[in-house]
Homo-oligomer: A and B are copies of this chain.
Amino acid sequence: MRVGVLGTGMVGQGQASRLVSLGHEVMMGSRAAGNEKAVAWASGASPRASEGTFADAAAFGEMVVNATNGEGSIEALAAAGAGNLAGKVLVDISNPLDHSGGFPPRLFVCNTDSLGEQIQRAFPEARVVKTMNTVNINVQVDPSVIPGRHTMFLCGNDDAAKADVRALLLSYGWPDEDVMDLGDITGSRAMEMNIAMWLRAASTLNNWGINIKIVP
């Protein structure tokens, strides 16, 4: 599969490297082609790795991963181009974090709306699936780094898109029974607000590799 990964930070690099390791062709997108981190990643990763602009990466991908900072996500996706996203699965990992007030960051949208919903509204032809934003990148792409069972969430309005993302998660090692579909894209509210507990518990334990398990 060809995947466009938007974002050159830890999440973008981790996702892109994991995808390449699974045999996918991956283009990392950034604001401008030739981004230092993207070039370094692409040159070191694999012949299947490349880099370009947000638009290049979105056009390249059959699936597109939004791994940009939440505050810049709408702008990055606009640069990627609505036409390049239309009809494609858009895996949204972003969190609406505002770090301007120090730690802990506040959410710049929550409660009655979410960044996942904002993205779906801004790009109505993209098939947005919110997932993986509830854990750090190491856990996202390899759940076995945490012993025992724990839960990965996804939500979105398009069932076929969610099936594709579930398959991606399974290829990352998530057990099918631990992947929980929270319904339509409004599930993003719960998934993004969960960052408050994640941050508090992680800082309490001084362990940023935690997850939650839904225990019925």
Contact residues in B for A47 (Cβ distance below 8 Å): none
| Complex CA–CA separation, A128 to B197 (angstroms) | 19
Q: Are B197 and A190 in contact (CB under 8 A)?
A: yes
Copies of this chain, tallied across the complex: 2
Chain B residues near A199 (CB-CB < 8 A) = 190
Interfacial chain B residues near A216, Cβ < 8 Å: 146, 205, 207, 209-210
By a CB distance below 8 angstroms, the chain B residues around A35 are: none
A48-56, A66-74, A105-113, A157-165 - the one binding chain B? A105-113
Query: Nearest Cβ in chain B — how far from A144, in angstroms?
Result: 12
Question: Are B182 and A204 closer than 8 Å at their CB atoms?
Answer: yes
Contacts A110-B111, A190-B199 given: A212-B210 contact, CB under 8 Å?
Answer: no
Pair A212/B214 contact, Cβ less than 8 Å = yes
Determine the main DSSP class of A at the interface with B: mixed
Least distance between A189 CB and chain B CB atoms (Å): 6
Q: How far is the CA of A107 from the CA of B194 in the complex (A)?
A: 14
A193 to B150, CA, bound (A): 20
Residue picked from A146, A191, A200, A205, most chain B C-beta under 10 Å:
A200
Given A190-B196, A194-B196, A196-B190, A211 contacting B201 (CB threshold 8 A): no
Task: Report which residue of A110, A148, A196 has the largest number of chain B beta carbons within 10 angstroms of its beta carbon.
Answer: A196
Given contacts A106-B112, A112-B106, whether A197 and B207 have CB atoms under 8 Å apart is: no
Q: Are B209 and A212 in contact (CB under 8 A)?
A: no
- Report the minimum CB–CB distance from A165 to chain B (whole Å): 16
Report the minimum CB–CB distance from A118 to chain B (whole Å).
16
Name the residue in A107, A207, A215 with the highest tally of chain B Cβ atoms < 10 Å from its Cβ: A215
Q: Which 5 A-B pairs have the closest CB atoms?
A: A190-B200, A150-B215, A190-B197, A190-B196, A213-B213
